[in-house]
A and B are shown apart, each in its own frame.
Chain A
Amino acid sequence: MFKMYSKIKVFTGVFIFLALATFPFWNKVFIVSKTNYEMPDANIKPALAFARENGFSGCIEDRAFMRAKHMKLLNHWRNEVVRENKKTYINSKGEHFNKSLTGTCLKCHSNKEEFCDSCHTSAGVKPYCFDCHITGIQNTNQLNSKAEAIHEIK
């Protein structure tokens, strides 16, 4: 049987190591036990009235594509519209769309809490889209306060 040296220091160090390494497992129990992680609801349906009125079959691209790559698409749109004045998007089905977050996307995905925030909060993403694109405004008071806030920033 071997002797162990500096027992107190070694055990303290090992304890700290184990505590840190297993943090993802125990944090739920000791810190945030009240809020269990819930998957964002994948079955929320967008209001399709706008799409139907304009004769579109549905969303611009399919669900898997939109889920994974919508930010790349929006970024691409912004650059094309602002820098190259190309304002029409032709999707894989050959349908023509106006490249606009507020004017196209948010017409069907009108509820920002459900369609944007639920996943963004879950993944810890804070997109700066909504710094300018105003959404979810119920009445003129809210609109005015938001406009004032933006004015102050500028």
Chain B
Amino acid sequence: MKILFALITVLILSLAAFTGVEYLHMEYVFGIVIPYAAFIIFIAGFTAKIFYWAKSPVPFNITTTAGQQKSLKWIKSDHFENPSGSFGVIGRMFMEIFFFRSLFRNTKAGLVKSSKSESFKPGYASDKSLWLGGLMFHWSFLYILIRHLRFFLYPIPSAIVTLEKFDSMFQIGLPIFYLTDAILLLSVTFLFLRRVFIPQVKYISLIADFIPLFLILAIAFSGIMMRYVSRVDVIGVKELVMSLTSFSPALPEKVSSVFYVHFFLVSSLFMYFPFSKLMHMGGVFFSPTRNMTGDSRRIRHVNPWNYSVKVHSYEEYEDEFREAMKGAGLPLDKE
């Protein structure tokens, strides 16, 4: 049901763009108005969300530690598993953001056959498939995003040409098949099937988990259709994009509706971004379990929302009741 709802949502979006351009000739809306709106929503929404998160206090030091904390000189400590300073924190964040290090330790529970007897025992086994699928998906998506800069820049930097050349190194067909296209499709399909076939994962999956998957799949599919099958006038596309980025929007002569479907789905993804789980792009920097230093034994973490408590120390107490205490014969610190 959840899957069907997400699928239908994405299909409606695609059909809306297709009919809008093919039959109602609303190129102006799908080519200029919506992309601009999407970009503004993305920028403003993203920034607002970051500032909103920055207002949340962190009450406790909740660093996840999986290694020896820095203590005595002769005890070897683990910089990344239990960072004792900003070097360790930056290193750990870097490896988390670029290599999804914590997913590398993903495990799955199940019946494991013991080596000695024929019996099965419940236990945990390493499961790196999510790590690998996620890594392949994110890196190929980034690669594709950077590759698309050829539509946004002129002259095209040689770095982008090199990236493109590397991506098409097997020279399969013409236009040459991009390897990242295949990697992206395979990994997104895997990430989707994972949510369908693993019962526990299926149980916790929401509509909001399926919508981005289908949206990205539809974007990839429309892009691949456009490049390899139905073809569009690439120069027309570049003309439109360059006119948008120079704030003098102008529609090109005739660009196939498939392009507008692709463009509208990308716009939808950008509009959806700040309000969805996709914000983990910014949110990963706000994970207290990763971005805090494991120094709770050396430095006191003061809860920022503590209000100032009015204290009355024993010294002050003695000063206040000195005469009375003296009279009663009670011992005093100061005479």
Residues of A within 8 A of B (CB): 2-7, 10, 13-14, 17-18, 21-25, 27-28, 32, 35, 37, 39-40, 64, 67-69, 71-72, 74-75, 119, 121-128
A7 smallest CB distance to B (angstroms): 8
Chain B residues with CB under 8 A of A2: 55
Interface status of B58 (Cβ within 8 A of chain A) = yes
Chain B residues with CB under 8 A of A6: 54
Most A Cβ at <10 Å: residue of B57, B238, B304: B238
Which of the residues A13, A17, A68, A75 comes within 8 Å of B174, measured between beta carbons?
A75
Q: A71, B174: Cβ atoms under 8 Å? A: yes
Most B Cβ at <10 Å: residue of A22, A39, A124: A124
A9 smallest CB distance to B (angstroms): 8
Interface status of B91 (Cβ within 8 A of chain A) = no
Interface status of B108 (Cβ within 8 A of chain A) = no
Q: A13, B58: Cβ atoms under 8 Å? A: no
Chain A residues with CB under 8 A of B245: 24-25, 28
CA distance in complex: A32, B154 (Å) = 8
Chain B residues with CB under 8 A of A22: 43
Q: How large is the interface on B (under 10, 10 to 19, 20 to 34, 35 or more residues)?
A: 35 or more
A17 with B175, Cβ < 8 A, contacts A64-B233, A124-B150 known: no
Chain B residues with CB under 8 A of A27: 152-153
Q: A68, B150: Cβ atoms under 8 Å? A: no
Chain A residues with CB under 8 A of B238: 122-123
Which of the residues B153, B173, B231, B304 comes within 8 Å of A24, measured between beta carbons?
B153
CA distance in complex: A124, B237 (Å) = 13
B153: nearest residue on chain A (CB-CB)? A27
Most B Cβ at <10 Å: residue of A6, A71, A122: A122
Chain A residues with CB under 8 A of B161: 124, 126
A121 smallest CB distance to B (angstroms): 8
CA distance in complex: A73, B27 (Å) = 29
CA distance in complex: A90, B79 (Å) = 70
Which of the residues B50, B151, B241 comes within 8 Å of A13, measured between beta carbons?
B50
Q: A14, B164: Cβ atoms under 8 Å? A: no
